[in-house]
């Protein structure tokens, strides 16, 4: 049933001109003189959408529990692709058991759906749109704006004058490896899952009570959870850690594939004397970023890097972001029932490959 829905709603989807919207899912790339070029594959859906069939270190038992899945996720996300196929796959795990206390459902037996894909095909937002269409659910994305709209031509001119200083400041934060956070002894394939649901009403009440943004409340939760995790793992908690903060650009999503986002580099203070201090600190930092034009400079840098051979580009990106300890983004978290298929979405989370340049 899941495969039929994916076939009809995604693979066969066409735009108003009768052109396949997700034709990119049938393409891969080939390399020539250090550059990558797209090429069409002999596409067969059953090669991409199948029962979980990976072996050896990536094998899963049946029934499968959350801890079994967590054991393979770190390796799965960096597993190599078959060069003959488009770099994406949907793996279905039957008899998957979740923790009842975190899911909120009496019946804990589920079907786990693993969507694994190369970031080069499309960004996480577009994959989120696929999931919305596939399961026919409403799942609004968090909205984040950088620079205020509606500025005069004079203000826009001043913004471009501000670009060099903002970009240099951000570049120093990403390149200078002077933070303990960059040296934390994380195992290379560590996977951490924070599973408890957080009430949207509680987030809204905190926002209204302290006069901060929704993003500040959520970021305070993330940083607080990170500090707690480090303490429980007996890892020294650094004063701050630098994050690559991904900001989607929904107005630029002219297609349902591809990558449309900006990245800004933010040093977050990890240690705070109180929860309120942390909340206000997060709100102040996010307000600074909203007024910064540095992400535009980083976007231009990515465009220039696209003219450089891939291996050299990977080396340059690894050096550029050597002080970055975290990658953060935001996606919808769902607990919804599909309108026409009766499928209950209990939980959703995204993983991003930690390898720079991929």
pLDDT tens string 224-244: 988 888 888 788 888 888 887
What span, in angstroms and rounded, lies between the C-alpha atoms of 149 and 142?
18
3-class secondary-structure state, position 126: helix
3-state helix, strand, coil in the chain (%, to 5): 40, 20, 40
Per-residue tokens: 116: 């694994």
Asked if residue 102 has pLDDT above 50, the reply is no
For 4-8, what is the mean pLDDT?
93
pLDDT of 33-66, one tens digit each? 888 888 999 999 999 999 999 998 889 998 888 8
pLDDT recorded at residue 350: 62
Q: For residue 190, what pLDDT band results from cuts at 50, 70 and 90?
A: low
Number of residues that this document lists for the chain = 358
Per-residue tokens: 44: 């067969």
DSSP per position, 87-115: SEEEEEEEEEE--HHHH--S--EEEEEEE
Q: For residue 9, what pLDDT band results from cuts at 50, 70 and 90?
A: very high
Domains, the chain: 2-135 (no CATH), 153-330 (3.30.559)
Asked if residue 179 has pLDDT above 70, the reply is no
What span, in angstroms and rounded, lies between the C-alpha atoms of 84 and 215?
41
Which residue intervals of the chain are DSSP H helices? 2-6, 45-48, 66-77, 100-103, 124-135, 153-175, 200-210, 214-232, 275-290, 294-305, 310-320
For residues 21 and 13, the answer to whether their CB atoms sit within 8 Å is yes
Stated pTM of the model: 0.76
What span, in angstroms and rounded, lies between the C-alpha atoms of 294 and 171?
9
Closest CA to 224 of 199, 241, 205: 241
pLDDT recorded at residue 175: 60
pLDDT of 288-331, one tens digit each? 877 777 777 777 777 787 888 888 887 877 777 776 777 776 66
Per-residue tokens: 42: 């002999």
Q: For residue 355, what pLDDT band results from cuts at 50, 70 and 90?
A: very low
Q: Does an H or E element contain 268, and which? A: strand 261-269
User: pLDDT above 90 covers what percent of the chain?
Assistant: 19
pLDDT of 107-155, one tens digit each? 567 888 888 888 888 887 788 888 888 888 777 666 655 555 556 666 6
For residues 295 and 247, the answer to whether their CB atoms sit within 8 Å is yes
pLDDT recorded at residue 142: 62
Asked if residue 186 has pLDDT above 90, the reply is no
Asked if residue 169 has pLDDT above 80, the reply is no
**Looking at per-residue confidence, does 182 or 270 come out higher?**
270
Angle at 220 between CA 214 and CA 221, to 5 degrees: 95
Mean pLDDT score of the chain, rounded to an integer?
Answer: 77
**Looking at per-residue confidence, does 162 or 67 come out higher?**
67
What span, in angstroms and rounded, lies between the C-alpha atoms of 125 and 115?
13
Q: What residues pair up with 344 in beta bridges, in sequence order?
A: 337
């Amino acid at each position: 049933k899941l495969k039929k829905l994916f076939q009809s709603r995604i693979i066969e989807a066409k735009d108003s001109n009768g052109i396949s919207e997700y034709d990119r899912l049938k393409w891969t790339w080939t390399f020539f003189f250090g550059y990558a070029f797209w090429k069409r594959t002999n596409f067969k859906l059953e090669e991409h959408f199948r029962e979980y069939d990976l072996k050896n270190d990536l094998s899963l038992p049946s029934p499968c529990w959350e801890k079994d899945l967590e054991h393979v996720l770190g390796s799965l996300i960096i597993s190599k692709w078959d060069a003959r196929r488009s770099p994406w796959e949907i793996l279905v795990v039957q008899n998957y058991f979740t923790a009842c206390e975190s899911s909120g459902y009496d019946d804990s037996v589920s079907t786990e759906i693993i969507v694994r894909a190369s970031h080069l095909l499309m960004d996480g937002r577009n994959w989120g749109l696929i999931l919305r269409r596939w399961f026919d659910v409403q799942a609004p994305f968090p909205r984040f704006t950088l620079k205020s709209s509606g500025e005069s031509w004079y203000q826009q001119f001043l913004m471009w004058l501000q670009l060099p200083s903002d970009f240099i400041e951000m570049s120093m934060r990403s390149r200078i490896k002077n933070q303990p956070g960059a040296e934390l002894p994380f195992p290379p394939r560590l996977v951490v899952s924070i599973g408890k649901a957080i009430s949207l009403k509680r987030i809204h009440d905190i926002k209204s009570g302290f006069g901060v943004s929704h993003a500040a409340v959520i970021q305070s939760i993330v940083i607080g959870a990170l500090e707690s995790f480090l303490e429980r793992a007996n890892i020294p908690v650094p004063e701050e850690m630098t994050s690559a903060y991904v900001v989607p650009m929904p107005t630029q999503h002219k297609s349902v594939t591809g990558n449309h986002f900006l990245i800004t580099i933010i040093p977050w203070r990890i240690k705070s004397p109180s929860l309120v201090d942390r909340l206000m600190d997060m709100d102040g930092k996010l307000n600074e970023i909203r007024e910064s034009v540095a992400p535009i400079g980083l976007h231009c840098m990515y465009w220039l890097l696209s003219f450089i051979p891939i291996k050299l580009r990977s080396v340059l990106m690894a050096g550029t972001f050597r002080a970055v300890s975290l990658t953060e983004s935001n996606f919808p978290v769902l607990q919804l029932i599909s309108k026409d298929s009766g499928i209950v979405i209990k939980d959703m989370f995204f993983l991003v490959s930690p390898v720079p340049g991929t």
